[in-house]
């Protein structure tokens, strides 16, 4: 396969300082060949994505899993051939998709690659970054049983990347171990100065973990043997001279069903107790960290291995059809290296190794109930990791159109957001097996990694956060002003790494009047710039004002039209109601008239009878009236004759 072998640390006879710088230079030269470039003091580099193909196991060979599905073309190219019966083959028979896929990687490692070869050719540059105060992240990705844990942790006989990084780091520290245990990582990038009580607590916590590991070690096989790897693999030299000292702290946690659990919590042994999930919070600078995560100070490889062993015991593992002991959680081992000088913390760097849960999809693993929920959460966080990587890549391709990157949608991506965005170097190891039965899942993994490979990381030469860790005391109160630390750090950057360029250096040689002129010119420039900015701001404000006014007018017009329409419809309704009333009144009047008529109706016979009666009555009255009239006429005469005797007929009174 022709993998390049580079044993940089073998040269133990030469000067330590020169060794270190020589290593850096060679690695930088290597990196420049792998697509890294420098722009404005920042290093731009596509994310390193390595492929590791694991060998077949005896059972797999006996089950006819070897169907030439994975063919390694060269050190960077691999071909996948769809086997008969796979979904990919069936789709291609229907005319959808291809049966052959080619993928390229930063480097491809075949089944015969040893753990040492893999480590030497991949992650050393990140380890040097870590020693240099920068952050690093490695994550392993692949389906269950593809060799992720083997690559990250390995076995006692074949230690993986993590024990190798630890071993190399302890060799790098050598006798410059900061024994005090009173400087501890705090939040994401800061350090805390512990008082004696707190130091005692740290010691007890550490002792409690190690006490329980002793029992485990006899029964459990550990991936990390605790014996130095230097003799078997590489020899490391102490690299930097000077008064620096180092303190290494480690944490081990897992993300299971979107909950973060501390794997270094001793109480986890008891099955009845429910584990407490930890919260993911943000520090003042927006960096995510796990609140209340247990950090243990480790001073030897043996201690580190015990931690790993302790955490592994706690790791939640659930049976699936594909691999009975498969891990169903993302496990993350994080180291923080505090570099101190004269009681001041110069830098805090972080190195995380993330062993992702198997990436298989639900249907394949035949999962139900709790397992289905697990699979859903695992797939979700991996899906979001994929989405983040795709969005990062898309944004880099099209800088005008920045799309949303969903870092916050899963704990995993939230925690690694800073590194993925360039606060450190991130790399990915893709693990695959060659089995025909898992071909479709493997193809899915390969497609995901193809996108990841295109993500460009812009890593500042000196990330500011690593320059200025804030030292805090009990309760997180700053002990030293951050500004002072920043100034000191800036001073360091200027004095050590960035010699003044020619123009800046010449400034000191200029006579005073020229300096005054230069100052005035700069001041004029500054004023012009400010004026330009102000003008721009005013234009923007005006544009925004106009747009708002326009919007207001439009909404007012809309409202006016709505009111008008409402008025019209009300008017219409009123008119209708009025018409209805009018009709009702008419109807009522007619009805009343009819009722009255009906009440007053007299049949004709009755009416005629009645009329006759009336006439008879009238006649009778008339007759009676005549008689009365006669009587009245005769009355005076009668009265006279009564009084005076008989009177003359017809004489008037």
Ligand X SMILES: Nc1ncnc2c1ncn2[C@@H]1O[C@H](COP(=O)(O)OP(=O)(O)OP(=O)(O)O)[C@@H](O)[C@H]1O
List interacting residues with ligand X (CB under 6 A). Answer: 54-55, 142, 144-150, 323, 326-327, 358, 431
CA distance linking residue 297 with residue 200, whole number of Å: 12
- Considering the complex, state which of residue 148 and residue 336 has its C-beta at the smaller distance from ligand X: 148
Cα angle at 207 between 202 and 208, to 5 degrees? Answer: 100
User: How far apart (Å, rounded) are the C-alpha atoms in residues 159 and 156?
Assistant: 6
DSSP labels for 488-532?
HHHHHIIIII-PPPHHHHHHTTS-HHHHHHHHHHHHHHHHHHHHH
Tally DSSP H helices, then E strands, for the chain.
18, 21
With respect to ligand X, which residue has the nearer C-beta, 255 or 288? Answer: 255
Computed on alpha carbons and rounded to an integer, the radius of gyration of the chain in Å comes to 49
3-state SS, residue 275: coil
We find the least distance from the C-beta atom of residue 501 to ligand X, in angstroms, to be 49
| Cβ-based nearer residue to ligand X, 192 or 312 | 312
Residue 81 half-sphere exposure toward CB, CA atoms < 13 A: 10
Phi-psi region of 475 (alpha: psi -120 to 50; beta: other; left: phi over 0): left
- How far apart CA 577 and CA 64 sit, in angstroms, is 87
Minimum Å gap between C-beta 256 and ligand X is 13
Q: What b/e string do you get for 589-606 counting C-beta neighbours within 10 Å, with b at 16 or more?
A: eeeeeeeeeeeeeeeeee
What gap in Å lies between CA 352 and CA 596, rounded to an integer? 104
70 among the known binding-site residues? no
Least distance CB 441 / ligand X (angstroms): 11
Least distance to ligand X, CB of residue 61, Å: 13
The DSSP bridge partners found for residue 352 are 137, 334
| 113 known ligand binder | no
Residue 136 counted as an annotated binding residue: no
- Residue 54 vs 124, nearer CB to ligand X: 54
The conformation of residue 422, written as its DSSP 8-state character, comes to I
Closest separation between CB of residue 116 and ligand X, Å? Answer: 12
| Cβ atoms of 321 and 309 closer than 8 Å | no
Query: Quick check: 472 and 478 in contact, CB under 8 A?
Result: yes
Residue 220: phi, psi to the nearest 5?
Answer: -95, 140
- Nearest alpha carbon to residue 240 among 173, 180, 183: 173
For ligand X, the closer CB: 55 or 545: 55
Give whichever of 56 and 210 is closer to ligand X, judged by the CB atom. Answer: 56
* Angle between helices 196-219 and 301-314 in degrees, nearest 10: 70
Under a CB-based contact definition with an 8 Å cutoff, are residues 25 and 403 in contact?
Answer: no
Residue 143 marked as a ligand binder: yes
142 assigned binding-site residue: yes
Residue 144 counted as an annotated binding residue:
yes
CB of 82 to ligand X, least distance (A): 22
Q: How many CB atoms lie within 10 A of CB 490?
A: 14
157-186 core/surface letters (b: 16 or more CB in 10 A; e: else): eebbbbbbbbbbbbbbbeebebeebbbbbb
Query: Taking a C-beta distance cutoff of 8 angstroms, is the pair 311, 279 a contact?
Result: no
Contact 162, 331 (CB under 8 A): no
d(CA 333, CA 314): 13
Cα-to-chain-centroid distance, residue 554: 38
Binding-site annotation, residues? 142-149
Binding-site annotation, residues for ATP? 142-149
């Amino acid at each position: 396969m022709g993998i390049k072998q580079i044993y940089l640390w073998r040269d133990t006879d030469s000067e330590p300082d020169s060794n270190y710088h020589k290593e850096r230079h060679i690695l930088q030269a290597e990196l420049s060949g792998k697509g890294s470039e420098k722009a404005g003091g920042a290093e731009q580099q596509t994310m390193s994505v390595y492929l590791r193909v694991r060998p077949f196991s005896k059972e797999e060979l006996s089950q006819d899993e070897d169907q030439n599905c994975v063919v390694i073309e060269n050190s960077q190219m691999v071909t996948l051939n769809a086997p008969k019966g796979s979904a990919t083959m069936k789709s291609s028979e229907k005319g959808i998709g291809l049966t052959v896929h080619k993928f390229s990687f930063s480097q491809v490692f075949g089944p015969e690659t040893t753990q040492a070869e893999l480590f030497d050719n991949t992650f050393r540059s990140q380890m040097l970054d870590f020693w240099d105060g920068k952050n690093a992240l490695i994550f392993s990705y692949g389906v269950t049983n593809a060799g992720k844990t083997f690559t990250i942790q390995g076995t006692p006989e074949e230690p993986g990347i993590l024990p190798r990084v630890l071993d190399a780091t302890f060799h790098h520290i050598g006798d410059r171990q900061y024994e005090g245990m009173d400087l501890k990582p705090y939040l994401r990038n800061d350090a805390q100065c512990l008082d004696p009580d707190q130091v005692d607590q740290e010691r007890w916590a550490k002792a409690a973990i190690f006490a329980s590991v002793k029992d485990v070690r006899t029964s459990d096989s550990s991936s990390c043997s605790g014996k130095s790897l230097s003799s078997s693999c590489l020899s490391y030299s102490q690299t930097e001279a000077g008064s620096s000292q180092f303190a290494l702290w480690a944490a081990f946690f897992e993300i299971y069903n979107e909950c973060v659990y501390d794997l270094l919590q001793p109480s986890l042994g008891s099955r009845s107790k429910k584990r407490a999930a930890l919260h993911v919070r943000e520090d003042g600078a927006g960096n995510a960290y796990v609140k209340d995560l247990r950090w243990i100070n480790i001073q030897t490889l043996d201690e580190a291995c015990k931690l790993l062993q302790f955490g592994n015991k706690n790791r939640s593992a659930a049976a699936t059809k594909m691999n009975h002991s498969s891990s169903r959680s993302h496990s993350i081992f994080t180291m923080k290296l505090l570099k101190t000088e004269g009681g001041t913390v110069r830098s805090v760097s972080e190195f995380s190794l993330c062993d992702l849960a198997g990436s298989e999809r639900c249907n394949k693993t035949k999962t139900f109930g709790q397992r289905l929920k697990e699979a859903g959460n695992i797939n979700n966080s991996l899906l979001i990791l994929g989405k983040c990587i795709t969005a990062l890549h898309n944004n880099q391709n099209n800088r005008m159109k920045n799309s949303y990157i969903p870092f916050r949608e899963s704990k995993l991506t939230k925690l690694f957001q800073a590194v993925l965005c360039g606060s450190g170097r991130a790399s990915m190891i893709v693990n695959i097996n060659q089995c025909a039965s898992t071909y479709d899942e493997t193809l899915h993994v390969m497609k995901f990694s193809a996108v990841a490979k295109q993500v460009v990381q812009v890593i500042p030469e000196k990330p500011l956060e690593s320059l200025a860790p804030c030292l805090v005391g009990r309760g997180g109160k700053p002990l030293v002003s951050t500004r002072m630390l920043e100034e000191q750090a800036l001073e360091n950057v200027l004095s050590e790494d960035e010699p003044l360029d020619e123009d800046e250096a010449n400034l000191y040689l200029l006579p005073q009047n020229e300096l005054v002129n230069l100052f005035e010119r700069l001041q004029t420039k500054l004023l012009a710039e400010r004026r330009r900015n102000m003008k721009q701001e005013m234009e923007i404000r005006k544009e925004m004002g106009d747009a708002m006014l326009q919007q207001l007018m439009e909404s007012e017009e809309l409202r006016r039209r709505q009111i008008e329409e409402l008025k019209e419809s009300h008017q219409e309704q009123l008119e209708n109601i009025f018409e209805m009333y009018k009709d009702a009144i008419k109807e009522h009047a007619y009805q009343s008239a009819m009722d009255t008529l009906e009440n007053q109706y007299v049949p004709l016979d009755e009416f005629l009878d009645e009329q006759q009666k009336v006439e008879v009555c009238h006649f009778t009255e008339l007759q009676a009236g005549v008689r009365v009239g006669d009587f009245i006429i005769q009355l005076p005469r009668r009265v006279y004759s009564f009084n005076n005797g008989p009177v003359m007929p017809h004489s008037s009174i």
